[in-house]
Structure 1
């Protein structure tokens, strides 16, 4: 009964419920316009499939990202900790940490953890934003509120993407031991961009997705978390493809 309740509850969530309704409606319309309906059925089916934790886990290959976890036993010293920007939700009525999205919070928490482990390392928070509110300023305020000395923190508010972050920060990172903090799915591309600028970084990945331990009754029901994980993975595929094209057109690019 418990699992049945969970299954029914999960099926009534917006993603699986709306997807199922669309699927049923398309089946009903199949007699009148087969071509368009067939395309719709394939699209809805693919969306629902990649939204299931079982399929999502196969796509994101989370185990391959474990190589990017930071091993403190192998790193006796770190000079600089770079936390790359992510999502922000500016709202002057909220404090700084409440304006950071979950992705940004996850990265900042890892950066602050490393800052406490390496008390002499500089903490660099990066990322632009909207108007006068930047990812880096919100991260700095949050880090200070959590006990990090303001003198240890450097902002990089002008960067609007990872390529900008690597290009703008490179001059101050070359020849230092740098821990790079970003989401696990993003680490391969971020590391590549920093390496291209002559900066050898030590990955400190966070924001992992892993659905392998989810119970069986959740594995095959579309879930927004699985869709987010696949979306993040696809974002990196598109981003890496763009870098490849840019470098093919101009070997000096990025």
Structure 2
């Protein structure tokens, strides 16, 4: 928990009304898996699906006019790209098709930044709200800024929210804490190697 809190503290939770205005919000994949008929007809909303919900809130709050959903195909998660799977969800949240744009070829954060930067350059846009998990935000923000973009973080999926610091159960190992520590270590390494 402490490792995640250290990373997430740079990008605290904010309400959509408190976020900056920008021409576009970019939502990074990682929270919505593809439908896999006949076993699953709808996208599977994972622990990081909050980022799609938050992007819809930003749109409805008038903070952005367009939303770019970024993420390619992960064959372990289905046949649709993450961007296409997120589009199904964000449509259900009331965002119209005209405001939704897909970047569906990237398979990592660096590629998200490169491919989205090309799209934004075509639109003449250099500012964006970056919507991803607070844990992932430092690494993602660095990648997008490396493309010459002005990035306003719109972090979500905050994990380090435990308000009870002393509880005997915290002394026992649990799978969620181990998983969270593993993801935090991945982000530290990603910052170090630049991916």
CA contact (8 A) 2:19 2:154 kept: no
2:67/2:100 contact within 8 Å kept: yes
Q: Which moved more, 1:125-134 or 1:152-161?
A: 125-134
CA RMSD of aligned residues (A): 2.3
Aligned to 1:150: 97
Indicate whether 1:92 and 2:37 are aligned: yes
Q: Secondary structure at the match of 1:241?
A: helix
Using the alignment, how far apart are the partners of 1:203 and 1:82 within structure 2? 10
| Residue 219 (structure 1) aligned to one of 170, 176, 187 | 170
Measured after TM superposition, the shift of residue 69 of structure 1 is 3.6
Which is higher, the Rg of structure 1 or of structure 2? 1
Gaps of 5+ in 1: 1-56, 244-253
TM-score normalised according to structure 1 size: 0.65
Q: C-alpha separation between the residues in 2 aligned to 1:211 and 1:221?
A: 18
Structure 2: gaps spanning 5 or more residues: none
**Residue pairs, 1:1-254, within 5 angstroms:** 57-62=1-6, 65-70=9-14, 72-73=17-18, 75=20, 77-87=21-31, 88=33, 90-93=35-38, 94-97=40-43, 99-103=44-48, 105-118=49-62, 121-129=65-73, 130=75, 132-173=79-120, 175-210=125-160, 212-214=162-164, 216-243=167-194
Aligned pairs, number: 185
- Aligned-partner SS, 1:185: coil
Distance in 2 (CA, whole Å) between partners of 1:178 and 1:68 is 18
Greater fraction of residues in strand: 2
What are the Cα deviations for residues 94-147 of structure 1, in whole angstroms up to 9, with x where unaligned? 2433x23222x1211111111111275101111012263111001001111221
Q: Is the 8 A contact 1:79 1:178 kept in 2?
A: yes
